Chains A and B, each alone.
Chain A
Amino acid sequence: MTRWRSEVLLEVKDLQVFYGRIQAIRGISFSVAEGEIVTLIGANGAGKTTTMKTMSGVRPVAAGSVRFDGKDITKMASHKRVELGIGQAPEGRGIFPGMTVRENLDMGMYLRKDRKSGAAAADLERVLILFPRLRERINQAGGSMSGGEQQMLAIARALMGRPRLLLLDEPSMGLAPMLINQIFRIISEINAQGTTVLLVEQNAAKALKIATRAYVLESGEIVKTGKGSDLLNDSAVRDAYLGGK
């Protein structure tokens, strides 16, 4: 687990989000401090992905505020948020099927001005060390890769933008258990290298193990919060999300 630093990087206050007339998020507040891995866990339909989409500006906010690094970004356009340092590996991975792995990774640097510099090459090398599989497939079309490889590519692509905050939406979804362990190990490693992570997961057991802090989301509301290790031992959480025991 990383150092606990006090600088708040992302601060969400009383957030409300609607889909038409249906309220998906009912006034949630949470924060992510620099250096942390914070996870939002919850069942299907609890509002996890909606929250993520709001963070990246793809879904509009009905009420409440989102601050990043002290700046109000509640109504900011997506591409400006990327410029500020919010990177995301979206739910369903969002790989461009007709682009090669290399082109997908380049898309991660879309807004970087130093795309052709040594720094960009070094970043590419860094993610390829993190995900050796991607090096083997560098010229293969994104659409032809397996689910696990696509997930690695999605995370690697987000890292290519050198985000200060990395949003990961269900990185374990649809993957084999061995791959899931690998992905979570890599998330810890990315965090250890200095990237703050906000992780949304259905696989609560795995997420709580690597998380600094966690929030439990239920029907669009936060019902519980605490340190990852504490929630892992919380009997209510165990019953609801860890399959009892």
Chain B
Amino acid sequence: MVRHFRPFYVAVRARPFKHRSCMNFTNFINTFWANTISGLSLGAIYALIALGYTLVYGVLRLINFANSEVFMLGTFGSLAALWILGVPSAGAPKAGIALLGTLALMLVLSILFSGGAAILLELLAYRPLRRRNSPRLVFLISAIGASLAIAEAVGAFGARKREEYPFGRVWNTRKNLFKISDFDVQVRHVMVIGGALIMMSGLALFVNKTRLGRGMRAVAQDAETARILGVNVDHVILITFAVGGVMAGGAAFLYALFFEATRYNAGFLLGVKAFTAAVLGGIGNITGALVGGLLLGLIENWGAGLFGGQWKDVIAFAVLVLVLMVRPTGLFGETLGRSRA
């Protein structure tokens, strides 16, 4: 599973320890900018996936564990786009309209795969349970079941092996753009961080400025009052899943550009990290998802620079536990169960 992060490790791997100290400050300083840029890139992907958890939690008080598979299906959307265009065999367009068209189709298919999966999840796995007034635990089991079922179905379909995107022939995303200190910032870093910020801004506009967005916030803050005021709660919930799916689809597209490979279980570790980011920021809070995602990316990469790459995940989760001990509602969380969406 960790294999997906390898391209990313290669860039930042610490030199082998020559001394017995557990902290390597020299390495931390030397790799600081590399780890910062990589951390922000990965953090931006965490943040986009975290939004799916946080939005759904906001309106339903439900952790949609299958959100990680919503994301994973999105990565196959981008792959499908490349298959459809015949890029692997036919060689590839290198620039201009053809390149933009390829990118656009990848993004659109990723969003369609992820958004569609999120909508189907709500309609098939959650709404029937709400109709029956099922207890909370049942929703959780349904979420975990859906998550495993989707991942295994994709695996059984034949994608158990690592699928490389034949993308390198389309566009070299590892081209160096500019230097910060002595770290070369590549096209993919700019794409991922910039793309995530654009999607986040779009979401902020939707939630704060549109009627449906306001309806979402209303349901998150007080579902019964929202109903009394004329909000069709089921409709808003469906929209919320769709919006979370679109964000996951965007994340999947950026992930495809960044790592150029995917797999049936690509969502698992990333999903756990994104969920962690959501909790770190304060689940139910949109700003929290953004800050939590970026912070988690930074912390684990800086930590990798300080302690060595193999400690990355340990550090990430240790920080989570520490933050939650001091602030149980997360960095931006308000009093429990009353978080803003």
Residue with the highest number of chain B CB atoms closer than 10 Å, among A82, A83, A95, A106? A82
Partner of B221, one of A79, A97, A111, A115: A97
Interface flags for B221-236 (1: CB within 8 Å of A; 0: not) read: 1101111111110000
B211 contacts chain A at the CB level, 8 A cutoff: yes
Q: Which A192-216 residues have C-beta < 8 A from chain B?
A: none
Q: Is the interface of B mostly helix, strand, loop or mixed?
A: helix
From residue A156, how far is it (CB to closest CB) to chain B in Å? 12
Which bucket holds chain A's interface residue count?
Answer: 20 to 34
Partner of B211, one of A57, A83, A115: A115
Q: Measured between alpha carbons, how far is A103 from B211 in the docked complex, in Å?
A: 11
B218 contacts chain A at the CB level, 8 A cutoff: yes
Given contacts A106-B214, A110-B211, A110-B215, contact A94 B230 (CB under 8 A): no
B340 contacts chain A at the CB level, 8 A cutoff: yes
Given contacts A103-B214, A110-B211, A110-B215, contact A96 B227 (CB under 8 A): no
Which bucket holds chain B's interface residue count?
Answer: 10 to 19
Q: Which B182-220 residues have C-beta < 8 A from chain A?
A: 211, 214-215, 217-218
- Quick check: A90 and B228 within 8 Å, CB to CB? yes
- Quick check: B338 and A108 within 8 Å, CB to CB? no
Partner of B228, one of A83, A88, A99, A115: A88
Interface flags for B308-341 (1: CB within 8 Å of A; 0: not) read: 0000000000000000000000000010001010
List 26 A–B pairs whose Cβ atoms lie within 8 Å, in order of A's numbering: A57-B227, A58-B224, A58-B227, A78-B227, A79-B231, A82-B230, A83-B230, A90-B224, A94-B225, A96-B218, A96-B221, A96-B225, A97-B221, A98-B217, A98-B221, A98-B338, A99-B218, A103-B214, A107-B214, A107-B226, A110-B211, A110-B214, A110-B218, A110-B231, A111-B230, A158-B229
B residues sitting closer than 8 Å to A (CB atoms) are 211, 214-215, 217-218, 221-222, 224-232, 334, 338, 340
Top 5 closest A-B pairs, CB basis?
Answer: A94-B225, A82-B230, A98-B340, A111-B230, A78-B227
A107-B218, A110-B231 known; 7 other A-B pairs, CB under 8 Å? A79-B230, A97-B221, A99-B214, A107-B229, A110-B218, A110-B230, A158-B229
